Structure formats: C-alpha cells, structure tokens
A = this chain, B = another copy of it.
Amino acid sequence: MFVFCVLNLLKLKNMIIKQLSVFLENKSGRLHEVFEIFGENNINVSACSVADTSEFGILRMIVSEPEKARDVLKEKLFSVNISEVISFATPNTPGALAKALQILSKANISIEYLYGFSVGEKSFIALRSDNVEQAIMELQRNQMELISASDLYKF
C-alpha cells in the first residue's frame, strides 16, 4: 500500500511540467535570440506561446532541459522564470477539448491560460491552472490522456 502511494506520488510529480517564461523586451529580435541560444545548447522546444503587449512579449515554453535552459538564458541576461503547467492529449475531433475543460470546470479548477496544436489524430494541450495537482488528479480520474514531463521533453 505504501509502495503504491509512493508510486502514485511519483507519477503525479512526473505529470507536472516545468514551463519557462522569458521576458522579451523587443519581440522580434529577442525571440530569434532565444531560439538561437537553444540551438547552440542543444535544447529542444516542445511547445511555445507568446503573450504580448504592443511593445513586449512573454515567451512561454516547454523545453527539453528546463533548468539548463533557464541557466543559459540568465547568462545572457534574460529575465526567466519557471512555473508549473500540465499537458494532455485529446482526440482531434470537434468537442474533445471541450470535454477536458468541462472536467476541470466541474471541479472548480480555474484555467489561467492554455496553448495547443492538433496534429494528425490528436490535439496536444499545455495548460496553466491555479491548482496543478488537482487538475492532474481530475483529468486522470476521468481517463484523459495526460502527457508526462519525460514524454513531452523528448517529443
């Protein structure tokens, strides 16, 4: 029983994805620079999204080695933060994503933002909520296909 709990806890931990947030003072130039630094350091980008103002941007990314990525960006004087998100896949059919969001909504888990892409038969979503652990448990309990950190980083 104890082993079972520890295993579940480990599984939960592995479902928490570390997302990088990078402040871009100048959207075009700095955006390019971030991806160039990643290229030189062999860091792969699994997902990305820019939240923008007229002048600036905040680049959110899921990358292959989050801590290393943060360190190489900080060396180049970028403002970088790590926050926790979850990732899951749904069938790439109308209404499938609504079903996942309804599960979270019914459990009173609020969503701060999400980003995703549909490829072939699946849609892949990264999602930030106010309660990452509860979101994972609700989605698991409802047989949604969560994507673990180790799976996402190597995509």
Residues of A within 8 A of B (CB): 21, 23, 25, 27-29, 31-32, 35-36, 38-58, 64, 79, 81, 83, 92-99, 101-102, 104-105, 109-120, 122-124, 126, 128, 155
Q: Which residues of B contact A45 (CB under 8 A)?
A: 97, 116, 118, 123
Measured CA separation A40–B58 after assembly (Å): 30
Of B25, B48, B54, B120, the contact of A115 (CB 8 Å cutoff): B48
A122 to B124 CA separation, bound complex (whole angstroms): 13
| Count of identical protomers in the assembly | 4
Residues from chain B with a CB closer than 8 A to the CB of A81 are: 25, 55-56
Tell me whether A54 and B128 are in contact (CB under 8 A).
Answer: yes
| Selected contact of A53 from candidates B58, B97, B120, B123, CB within 8 Å | B58
Cβ contact within 8 Å between A35 and B95: yes
**Pair B94/A47 contact, Cβ less than 8 Å:** no
Alpha-carbon gap, A32 to B29, bound state (A)? 30
Q: What residues of chain B lie closer than 8 Å to A124, measured between beta carbons?
A: 117, 119
